[in-house]
Amino acid sequence: MDPHLAAKLAPYLVPLLVIALVARRLIRNKPQKVKPGRLFVMPAIVTFGTGFMLQQTGWPGLLWLLVYGAAAVAGGAVGYLTGRHRHFTLDEHGEIMARATPIGTVIFAALFALRFGLKLLFPQLNGGTQPYGPAPPNFHPAASVIGWTDAGLVFSTAMLLATAATTWLRTRHLAAERRARKSAPENVP
């Protein structure tokens, strides 16, 4: 028995675990309650925290501003798609319910599998060993860890904001229908 077997299998176990969890979510797909009045609470807190963190690192250069802009656009697009790939209904109790459509889960699984496949085929893209010589100094993504984590913060904040905005826009008619149901007199013969 190889004593390093666990270390050799670990890069394969994590993606398999993620794919299993995604498949479980796709199979179960329970509806979740949507509270339109609270949609922007968490995005507001995250936006405040991201702004505070970005303020602590100082003013970035032009290249990092472009990276942050690209991260914000990509996060907004992912958030929009996340909000669009949900099915909203009004249940019998007047609650707005959301259920993820399978397309959103399938897109996530496909992107995850693509990234994992690229990581296996091209280890140098992920900071692994290069086929020839050492990596050039300061051009490797790991050389600017703070900048990349800040870009990740911008991406996730934009994604949360776009998801909340898309959800709010798509549930306005259900909220109006719920108010109409509550204010309508019950039909009593």
Q: Are the CB atoms for 81 and 165 separated by under 8 Å?
A: no
Angle at 88 between CA 85 and CA 89, to 5 degrees: 155
pLDDT at 53 over 50: yes
Half-sphere exposure of 33 (CA within 13 A, CB side): 7
Q: How far apart are CA 74 and CA 25, in angstroms?
A: 24
Residues 6+ apart with CB under 8 A from 70: 151
Residue-wise pLDDT tens digits, 129-155: 444 444 444 454 544 667 777 888 888
Burial class (CB in 10 A: 0-12, 13-18, 19+), 167: buried
Q: Would you say the C-alpha torsion 155, 160, 166, 169 has a positive or negative sign?
A: negative
Say if residues 167 and 40 touch (Cβ distance below 8 Å): no
* Residue 170 DSSP label: H
DSSP state of 40: T
pLDDT in tens, 85-102: 888 888 888 788 887 766
Helices (H), 87-144: 102-121
Residue ranges of domains in the chain? 5-120+143-179
Q: What percent of the chain has pLDDT over 70?
A: 66
Q: What is the mean pLDDT of the chain?
A: 76
